[in-house]
A = this chain, B = another copy of it.
Amino acid sequence: MGIFSKTCEYALRAVFFIARRTVEGNRVGIKEIASGIDSPEHFLAKILQDLTRRGIVQSVKGPNGGFYLNQQSLARPLIEVIEAVDGDGLFRDCGLGLKECSSKNPCPLHSGFLEVRNRLQSMLESITIGQFNEDLNLGIVVLKK
């Protein structure tokens, strides 16, 4: 288990991939996304269906159809994708699994966690889906290995 669920990892890689195609002016089909990010095709399809319902990504059916991102979606911070898929537990729940996280009756790790998680949160709030297109095109960052 990583910091995010597998589902969420696929979702993040997929939106990065779609963003890149979108700014090139194209929609992109599920097959191409799946092979471009090295994910199981039908499983990813489910994930993108859900993201589409939630308005995180856009899609059209039929010939020349596929997934794309509108301006609003391109500008979305990553944390919205993560919360749509995994919920906000990573940022709100107690790191030791206690029923709730609060600074009255904190668990032993509360203050340490708070600092790390706030840092993660603000990082994910400041990174947008669309901001890596150039680095992806240049091969400076990658979505599969």
Pair B110/A13 contact, Cβ less than 8 Å: no
Q: List chain B residues, Cβ under 8 A from A105.
A: 141-142, 145
A interface, CB within 8 angstroms of B: 1-6, 9-10, 12-13, 16, 78, 86, 89-90, 93-100, 105-110, 112-113, 115-117, 119-120, 123-124, 127, 132, 135-136, 141-145
Q: Knowing that A6-B97, A78-B109, A112-B123 touch, tell me 4 more A-B residue pairs with CB under 8 angstroms.
A: A1-B90, A2-B94, A16-B108, A112-B124
How many copies are assembled? 2
With A108-B16, A116-B119, A127-B112 already in contact, the answer to whether A95 and B142 are too (CB < 8 A) is: no
Contacts of A127 in B (CB 8 A): 108-109, 112
